[in-house]
Amino acid sequence: MDTLESLLAAIAPTGASRDILNPANGNLVAKVAVDTVDDLEKAIAAATKAQVSWAALGHEKRSALMMKAADAIEAHAEPLAQLLSREQGKPLNGPNARFEIGGAAAWMRAAAATPLETETVIDDESGHAVMTYKPIGVVAAIGPWNWPAMITIWQVAPSIRMGNAVIVKPSEFTPLIVTAIVKVINTVLPAGVVSVISGDREVGAALSSHPAIGKVMFTGSTATGKAIIRSSADTVKRLTLELGGNDAGIVLPDVDPKAIAGDLFWGAFINTGQTCAALKRLYVHESIADDVVRELAAVAATMPMGEGTDENNVLGPLQNKKQYDIVADLVEKAKKGGGKVVLGGNPDTSQKGFFYPTTIVDELDNDNALVQIEQFGPALPVVRYKDLEQAIEWANGVDVGLGASVWSADAGKAREVAARLEAGTVWINSHGGVHPLIPFGGAKQSGYGLEFGVEGLKALGVPQVING
Ligand code: NAD
């Protein structure tokens, strides 16, 4: 599996299959297996069996194997990145395919290395109580198409560290890279502990209602998250839901526009805007809005977009036609609503790939669809504000709350504003950076439960108190 060809050969389907096409050019990447609900039953039976001996290994031995799994990802990083780029569309360079595979290895290592001690809850004359975390059993990991390799490892690594087995259900749009990265970690892990079922929504629905599944780790849209809550209710499954967002950034009047332009750009346009916690609505004080927008557009204009496998590019296509249509429609609504298109906004519809140009729309009304609806693509709306209270109200005025950011030269003032924002994470003078030891999760309809760090490990265990 040292080359893209040998990696693809290792995951080649033996039964029913379908084509996966490169969103940048429509070329065939490879065929992928079409698994069924029957295949799912077999995988769950194998996982249920494998979980018992996996749990019995204990933390230390599991962590040692996970460290080796991280080494295996690193040893296969280049063919994995090449496959990710072709299937997802993201460029090899910039914070894209190679970066994502590096992140997958780093998160695997962090989940293996994070200590999880037995907690002594009380130990005095009133009594003695300790709390530990036991394995749940078999976990379902259902993921999206935007960061498919990294999010798979975000879901798998804490699950296996805590002694669970995992059934991974990748997005229909990006099953190859998920199958490949699981193949790579399975060169080290015992059989049956992690397996992939590459099916459609029906398979996802069967998984999230299956009585043998104890927990669903889900990352995807809010609508699907709600369907999973419903289908998991009968068996009272534990859930971690990382759902959609519509992150606001508030720029205070004291910033240096040139100094923040690069970080603003990547906050909004990382992965060509197809990132859950990307900056999706920018509120800028009117006194500096001209300068901020000009500097941001100047940075954006220097960022090459094109085929992922061209080493020069740092922005790619939308991953699929549905997402392209959503972005194109929202930009049209922004134009109709009186927005001033500062950059982009005019796609070349004759090209083969789903490329939407980097777009910035200034002077939009807050109630415009491009502001109110998650665009999940390279089109940033800018809303100018006079009064900070108004900006905070607008930022909080949606029913999701994944991330947010405040941009200011005064860190104290920025933190005060941050504390008033309804979001799971608020960044100061940056947006969207995640760290394997910093808990991450959403507020409001962006979901519940935390990932990463000790909190992320605890979410994959059943707490047990021993009282006495
Ligand atoms: P999606 O909800 O369409 O699909 C996600 C997964 O759910 C796919 O694997 C799909 O097959 C599966 N699925 C669909 N119906 C199902 C059902 N009834 N039961 C079980 N599984 C089912 O999401 P998407 O379009 O792939 O991803 C984009 C969305 O994900 C965006 O809204 C984005 O903000 C969000 N997202 C959130 C985070 C986060 O950490 N909060 C990270 C990445 C993406």
> Of ligand 1's atoms, which has the minimum distance to the CA of residue 205?
19
Q: Is the CB of 224 under 6 A from ligand 1?
A: yes
Question: Does residue 276 have an active-site annotation?
Answer: yes
Residue of the CA atom closest to atom 17 of ligand 1 = 205
Q: Which two tokens mark 49?
A: 């069996």
How many A from CA of 244 to the centre of ligand 1? 8
Domain contains 436: no
Catalytic pick from 87, 172, 276, 307?
276
Q: What does the pLDDT read at residue 201?
A: 83
Q: What does the pLDDT read at residue 80?
A: 98
Residues 387 and 403 in one domain: yes
Residues 230 and 350 in one domain: no
- Whether the pTM exceeds 0.95: the reply is yes
Instruction: Name the residue among 305, 323, 332 with its Cα closest to residue 221.
Output: 323
C-alpha gyration radius of the chain: 22
Residues 407 and 386 in one domain: yes
Q: What does the pLDDT read at residue 212?
A: 98
Residues 232 and 352 in one domain: no
Residues 133 and 254 in one domain: no
DSSP helix/strand/coil, 372: helix
CATH assignment of the domain containing 173: 3.40.605.10
Residues 308 and 263 in one domain: yes
208 phi and psi angles, rounded to 5 deg: -80, -5
Q: Is the CB of 22 under 6 A from ligand 1?
A: no
How many A from CA of 42 to the centre of ligand 1? 24
Residue 271 gets which letter from DSSP?
Answer: G
How many A from CA of 224 to the centre of ligand 1? 6
CATH assignment of the domain containing 294: 3.40.309.10
Boundaries of domain holding 265: 247-428
Q: What would the pLDDT profile of 8-47 be if each residue is shown by its tens digit? A: 999 999 999 999 999 999 999 999 999 999 999 999 999 9
Domain contains 238: yes
Q: Which two tokens mark 296?
A: 């941001």
The widest CA-to-CA distance across the chain, in whole angstroms, is 77
Determine the Cα–Cα distance for residues 176 and 180; give it in Å rounded to an integer: 6
Residues 459 and 374 in one domain: no
Residues 262 and 396 in one domain: yes
Residues of the chain with pLDDT under 50: none
Domain count of the fold of the chain: 2
